[in-house]
Structure 1
Amino acid sequence: MKRELGIIGIGNVGSMLLHKFTELDLIKEEDITVANRSPEKLDSLEKKYPALNVFRNNIELAKKCDNIMICVEPLNLPKVLKEIQPHLNENKHIMISTSMVAMKDIERFHSGSVTIFMPTLISMVDGGITIACHNGRVNEAEKEFFESLMGNFSEVKVMGEEDINLSQNMTASFPGFFAEIMLEFVKAASKRSKSVTDEELEHMLLVSLLGASRLLLEKNMSFEETISRVSTKGGITYEGVKVFEKMLPEVFDAALEASTGRYKVITELASKEAAELM
Structure 2
Amino acid sequence: MNVGFIGTGSMGSTLVEAFASSGALVPEQTRITNRTYAKAERLAARYPGMQAVRTNAEAVAGCDLIFLCVKPLEFKTVIDEIRASLQPEQVIVSITSPVLLAHLEEWLPCKVAKVIPSITNRVWSGATLCIYGSRIEPADMQTLEELLSYISSPLRIEERYTRVVSDLSSCGPAFMAFVLQQFIDAAADETGIDREEASRLAANMLLGTGLLLTEGGLTPEELQQRVAVPGGITAEALKLLRVELDDVFHRVIHATHAKFREDLEKVDQSFTVNR
Give the TM-score taking structure 2 as reference length.
Answer: 0.94
SS in 1 for 2:25: coil
Cα deviation for residue 48 of structure 1 reads 2.1
Q: Where does residue 122 of structure 1 map in the other structure?
A: 120
CA deviation map 1:125-153 (0-9, x unaligned): 11011111011211122111110001111
Aligned partners of 2:105 and 2:133 also within 8 Å: no
Q: Does 1:102 align with 2:129?
A: no
CA distance in 1, matches of 2:206, 2:40: 38
Aligned partners of 1:130 and 1:156 also within 8 Å: yes
Aligned partners of 2:91 and 2:112 also within 8 Å: yes
Amino acid at match of 2:257: T
CA distance in 2, matches of 1:34, 1:270: 24
Matches within 5 A, 1:119-268: 119-193=117-191, 195-268=192-265
Aligned mate of 2:13, from 12, 15, 37: 15
CA distance in 2, matches of 1:233, 1:24: 45
Amino acid at match of 2:208: G
**Which is worse superposed, 53-62 or 39-48?**
39-48
Aligned partners of 1:82 and 1:277 also within 8 Å: no
Aligned partners of 1:89 and 1:110 also within 8 Å: no
Q: Where does residue 57 of structure 2 map in the other structure?
A: 59
CA distance in 2, matches of 1:199, 1:124: 23
Amino acid at match of 1:179: A
CA deviation map 1:215-264 (0-9, x unaligned): 23223111111212211221111111111122223211111111121111
Q: Where does residue 27 of structure 2 map in the other structure?
A: 29
What number of residue pairs does the alignment pair up? 275
Q: Where does residue 274 of structure 1 map in the other structure?
A: 271
Q: Structure 1 segments of 4 or more deviating over 3 A?
A: none
Amino acid at match of 1:227: Q
SS in 1 for 2:89: coil
Identity over aligned pairs, percent: 27
Cα deviation for residue 210 of structure 1 reads 1.4
CA distance in 2, matches of 1:31, 1:231: 51
Aligned partners of 2:2 and 2:62 also within 8 Å: no
Aligned partners of 1:186 and 1:198 also within 8 Å: yes
Gap regions ≥5 residues in structure 2: none
SS in 2 for 1:107: helix
Aligned partners of 2:18 and 2:123 also within 8 Å: no
SS in 2 for 1:153: coil
Amino acid at match of 2:78: V
Give the TM-score taking structure 1 as reference length.
Answer: 0.93
With over 3 angstroms needed to count, the CA separation of the structure-2 counterparts of 1:191 and 1:60, relative to structure 1, is closer
Aligned partners of 2:22 and 2:124 also within 8 Å: no
Aligned mate of 2:69, from 55, 71, 75: 71
RMSD: 1.5
Q: Where does residue 86 of structure 1 map in the other structure?
A: 84
Amino acid at match of 2:234: T
Aligned partners of 1:4 and 1:32 also within 8 Å: yes
SS in 2 for 1:131: strand
CA distance in 1, matches of 2:48, 2:124: 25
CA deviation map 1:75-121 (0-9, x unaligned): 21121112212223321210011112111112221143211111111
CA distance in 2, matches of 1:110, 1:173: 29
Amino acid at match of 2:157: M
**Which is worse superposed, 214-223 or 116-125?**
214-223
